[in-house]
Amino acid sequence: MGVLIWHDWARLLALTSAFSVGWAAIWAFFYRKFFWDFVGATLGPGGLVPPPSAAIFVKIIVDFPVLQVINLVNALVTLGLEWPLPPVARLKIHGSMSFRVALYIWCTGAACELALPQTRASRPATISDTWTCSPAAFVYQTAFPALFYLVAAMAYGRALAKGETIASEHKPAASPRPVKV
């Protein structure tokens, strides 16, 4: 029976997420709606009316497409890393799974720290702030692909733990260490 090559699966997940987030971010420029608008909303003549507590989300998603731009940049960086042109494939950063784990955690959660600096009163950022705040999960069109980024980061982490390496142009990929039964 074959062995699952974790970094190959993670690469496919990351590509799927990048295409989905990129397309959805472009779509979200024209149809601006944030995903959690139904929480605390009231029904008005034009549909759901977001509560006043959601004013920051209306401002950065509907009024000014800040999160759409962040999602589009994240998607382009992911595509550039996972489906690289030959000059990018020769860079050392292309073969770094640790960088990819950090990047996809960024795509899943940490980018919102830049977009929403005023949401934290005067306290320092914590791990829970990073994990509960996701630019892709706030925009209605990109909520589901945000999960793909998270699963891709976990799969790359598993590949790191198993000792896999990413192939470059000059050397073949290393298979995971065989498991002794």
Buried b (16+ CB within 10 A) or exposed e, 47-82: eeebeeebeebbebbeeebbbbbbbbebbeebbebb
- Can you tell me the mean pLDDT for 80-94? 85
Confidence of residue 16 (pLDDT cuts 50, 70, 90): very high
What pLDDT, on the 0 to 100 scale, is given for residue 95? Answer: 85
pTM of the model: 0.72
Confidence of residue 138 (pLDDT cuts 50, 70, 90): low
Among residues 163, 60, 161, the alpha carbon closest in space to that of 111 is found at 60
Class of residue 39 by CB neighbours under 10 A (exposed 0-12, middle 13-18, buried 19+): exposed
How is residue 11 written in tokens?
Answer: 């690469």
